[in-house]
Amino acid sequence: MEKKTGYDAVVFDMDGVIFDSERAVMQCWKELADKYQIPDIEKAVLSCTGTTMKRTREIMLEIYGEDFPYDVYAKESSAIYHSRYDGGRLPMKLGVVELLTFLKEGGKKIALASSTRRQTVTNQLKDAGILNFFDKMICGDMVEHSKPAPDIFLKACAELGVAPERAYAIEDSYNGIRAAHAGHLHPIMVPDLLPANEEMQEKAEVVLPDLFEVIAYLKGEGAC
């Protein structure tokens, strides 16, 4: 994608971008896979990255069959996850606070576009002490179509009062980059569990290794 100059807002994904939560989720599911002998769990969980709880359930049943006790396993996985990471124990990605501070000091609008449900998003951002950085939060239970549809990014831009073409989207997942690209935002991919493949290289404006590099990128070549 051609690089633009000038932006008014940045829209963040949460899991895998702000928090190291996708790795945590994967670990919980791998423990269940060992316990219940679930095959190829890593591939299955990766295929759900960036989607809503509803779509995740559909994908898992597509992979493992309609009789797969997904609801039972998901509840157990969630219990493990919350027991370990609630109360501010979920690790943040390096550079999160620095990037948010840079944007706020520069007068940029900041939104969150996460497939996770709103209550979980609010709790995690509050526990991490970064909730007040965000002007708007659009969550998975607030839009009809989940990523890779562009709905969540378009709603975030609309609520910010910013044209999608004047907004960056920071994403780690394939579905997230697809959604931002389809919505005509300017996607920045910061890979987490999956590397940038050829499609991601094409759809993302740039692929960067971490959020400190995002700051450097936004500072560069007149992006203001």
Q: Residue 77's pLDDT is what?
A: 97
Q: Determine the Cα–Cα distance for residues 103 and 65; give it in Å rounded to an integer.
A: 45
HSE toward the beta carbon, residue 156, CA cutoff 13 A: 36
3-state secondary structure of 136: strand
What is the identity of the amino acid at 62? E
Q: Determine the Cα–Cα distance for residues 122 and 106; give it in Å rounded to an integer.
A: 24
When pLDDT is averaged across residues 36-60 and rounded to a whole number, the result is 95
Burial code (b: 16+ CB inside 10 Å, e: under 16) for 108-134 equals bbbbbbbbbeeebbbbbbeebebeebb
pLDDT surpasses 60 at 11: yes
Q: Would the pTM count as exceeding 0.85? A: yes
Contact status, residue 8 vs residue 165, Cβ threshold 8 Å: no
Alpha helices in the chain (DSSP H): 21-36, 41-47, 53-64, 70-85, 96-105, 118-128, 151-160, 174-182, 198-203, 211-219
Contact status, residue 194 vs residue 46, Cβ threshold 8 Å: yes
pLDDT surpasses 60 at 221: no
* Model pLDDT for residues 108-141, shown as the tens digit of each residue: 999 999 999 999 999 999 999 999 999 999 999 9
Identify the CA nearest to 152 among candidates 165, 166, 162, 137: 137
When pLDDT is averaged across residues 25-46 and rounded to a whole number, the result is 97
Helix H or strand E segment including 138: strand 136-139
Distances (CA, A) of 34 to 30, 42, 46: 6, 12, 17
Query: Residue written as tokens 């997904």?
Result: 70
Q: Residue 220's pLDDT is what?
A: 86
What is the identity of the amino acid at 48? C
When pLDDT is averaged across residues 172-193 and rounded to a whole number, the result is 97
Indicate the pairing of strand 109-114 with strand 9-12: parallel
Q: Determine the Cα–Cα distance for residues 93 and 209; give it in Å rounded to an integer.
A: 11
Orientation angle between helical segments 53-64 and 70-85, nearest 10 degrees: 130
Six-digit token string for 178: 């697809």
